Structure 1
């Protein structure tokens, strides 16, 4: 018998509008976790709402309110497996009004990805 796969929970956290859902949705797409036609449909629907850049975020942001407001309101789970691991990616809200949804995460993560953007651009040394 082969070695049993380890289950890993990965939670993606960060400030609102830092690109958590977009980055996670893009990763899922690149790993083959969602069909290209679905992404194309999301791109078309997002363009109709003047939110073209949200096509990957919509992999995880399913609620109508999330898509209209452009923010994650509730946690979203996506499962996939590799040759060694069963993985569950958990996309958490970053907006302060929905932090309670992030805190209520049931599975304990083994890995946390934090998406952080610089608050200012570095000064030029010239």
Structure 2
């Protein structure tokens, strides 16, 4: 849920365009994971997308009219945390 929430936040704040989200939605649906479209903003590895979990740390930077934003997504699955 963390990656999905974070990806949705990035989209709602204008950090990624609608066309890219639609592309992720199509690709996710092809793997039977249509609800993961926002998670795929940050989950780039093939294994992350297939398994539906974050394996590696990801950064995303964008600007709003008022702020510079850096989002860091980290794994939550016990196999990938120290």
* TM-score, normalised relative to structure 1: 0.62
Structure 1 residue 80 displacement after superposition? 1.7
**1:1-16 correspondence runs (5 A):** none
Runs of 4+ residues over 3 Å off in structure 1:
82-85
Aligned to 1:104: none
Structure 1 residue 83 displacement after superposition? 4.4
**1:78-97 correspondence runs (5 A):** 78-97=60-79
User: Is the CA contact (8 Å cut-off) linking 2:3 and 2:54 kept in structure 1?
Assistant: yes
RMSD: 1.1
Does residue 25 (structure 1) correspond to residue 35 (structure 2)? The answer is no
SS of aligned partner of 1:93: coil
Aligned to 2:21: 39
Aligned to 1:64: 46
Of structures 1 and 2, the larger Rg is shown by 1
Q: Which has the higher helix share?
A: 2
**1:32-81: CA deviations, max 9, x gaps?**
11111111111011111100000000000000000000000011101123
In 1, Cα distance between the equivalents of 2:19 and 2:41? 12
The unaligned stretches of length 5 or more in structure 1 are: 1-18, 101-126
* TM-score, normalised relative to structure 2: 0.93
Q: Which has the higher strand share?
A: 1
Structure scoring higher RCO (CA < 8 A, sep ≥ 6) equals 1
